[in-house]
Amino acid sequence: HGGELVQFGWNAGPRHARVFGLVNNLTNKKKLSMTTRQQKDSHALGILALSWNLLIASLPAEVSTSCIEAIGEAGLPAMTVKGNDLDFGYTLDLPGGPLCFSTAEWAPSEAYMSQNYES
């Protein structure tokens, strides 16, 4: 396989060992400090939260409302990263400095990011 496909948030574990928990998505995590890992995960959380909020804002209300209700009825938690105790809000690290959305909602429980991925 070429490229990368990275999972973020919650998952149910591999087929042979079902355990609902946060993914460990950094392949070189042994080389990175815990602070660096949390920083990278927080950056991804911010990008995914921004994407989710832009999507919800641009969809017709009947579509976004039904999606949000279905997620709520399923009891799925919001996306988060290890070591983050907050329930909402995110920060984007931009070249001009951080941009904080302190009251914004997070994305749903699971997401994937890809770069030049082919299977």
Counting the structural domains of the chain, the total is 1
- What digits encode the pLDDT tens for the residues 8-26? 888 888 788 888 888 876 6
- What digits encode the pLDDT tens for the residues 52-65? 999 999 999 999 99
Burial class (CB in 10 A: 0-12, 13-18, 19+), 81: buried
Instruction: Provide the residue range defining the domain that includes 80.
Output: 2-118
Q: What is the mean pLDDT of each run of 10 residues along the chain (119 residues)?
A: 82 82 70 81 87 94 94 89 78 90 88 86
Mean pLDDT over each residue of the chain, to the nearest integer: 85
Q: pLDDT above 70 covers what percent of the chain?
A: 94
Cβ count near 38 (within 10 Å): 15
Burial class (CB in 10 A: 0-12, 13-18, 19+), 43: middle
C-beta separation of 12 from 19 below 8 A: yes
